[in-house]
Amino acid sequence: MEEEAEHIYKEEKGLLLEDDTASMRDTMFEKAEFIEREMERMTEQIKSIIQTFNSKQGNGIDLGENMTPIDAAVRILNNQLSSLMWIDEKVSR
């Protein structure tokens, strides 16, 4: 079905491009698709950076038997806060 839609689109694209409004809409749609792909790529990069940062900051966060997921989240957030405070201190100098 997608191949057929793509085939029909290619055949009728010339007719659509004669209409300025349709042409502008098509161009904007293509740009929006490009931006969406770039944002997805950047989101994956940010996730990777956060995971790397957390793994380096975690330095053996031990999830003991009595530790709940909330306890683990608090410990991770405390580590991140400490890192941010250190960065702020270094920038302030």
Q: What is the pLDDT of residue 25?
A: 84
Q: Are residues 41 and 77 in the same domain?
A: no
Q: Are residues 17 and 48 in the same domain?
A: yes
Q: Are residues 25 and 53 in the same domain?
A: yes
Distance CA 34, CA 31 (A): 5
Q: Are residues 34 and 69 in the same domain?
A: no
Q: Which two tokens stand for residue 21?
A: 């409004």
Q: Are residues 52 and 71 in the same domain?
A: no
Q: What is the pLDDT of residue 16?
A: 62
Q: Are residues 52 and 12 in the same domain?
A: yes
pLDDT, one tens digit per residue, over 25-80 is: 888 999 999 999 999 999 999 888 877 877 776 555 555 667 777 887 888 888 89
Q: Are residues 10 and 41 in the same domain?
A: yes
Q: Are residues 12 and 45 in the same domain?
A: yes
Q: Which two tokens stand for residue 90?
A: 């270094």
For 7, the domain range is 1-59
- At 12, the pLDDT band (50, 70, 90 cuts) reads confident
Q: What is the pLDDT of residue 27?
A: 86
Q: What is the pLDDT of residue 34?
A: 95
Q: What is the pLDDT of residue 30?
A: 93
Q: Are residues 38 and 51 in the same domain?
A: yes
The overall pTM is greater than 0.75: no
Give, as one character, the DSSP assignment of residue 66. Answer: T
Identify the H or E element spanning 45: helix 20-58
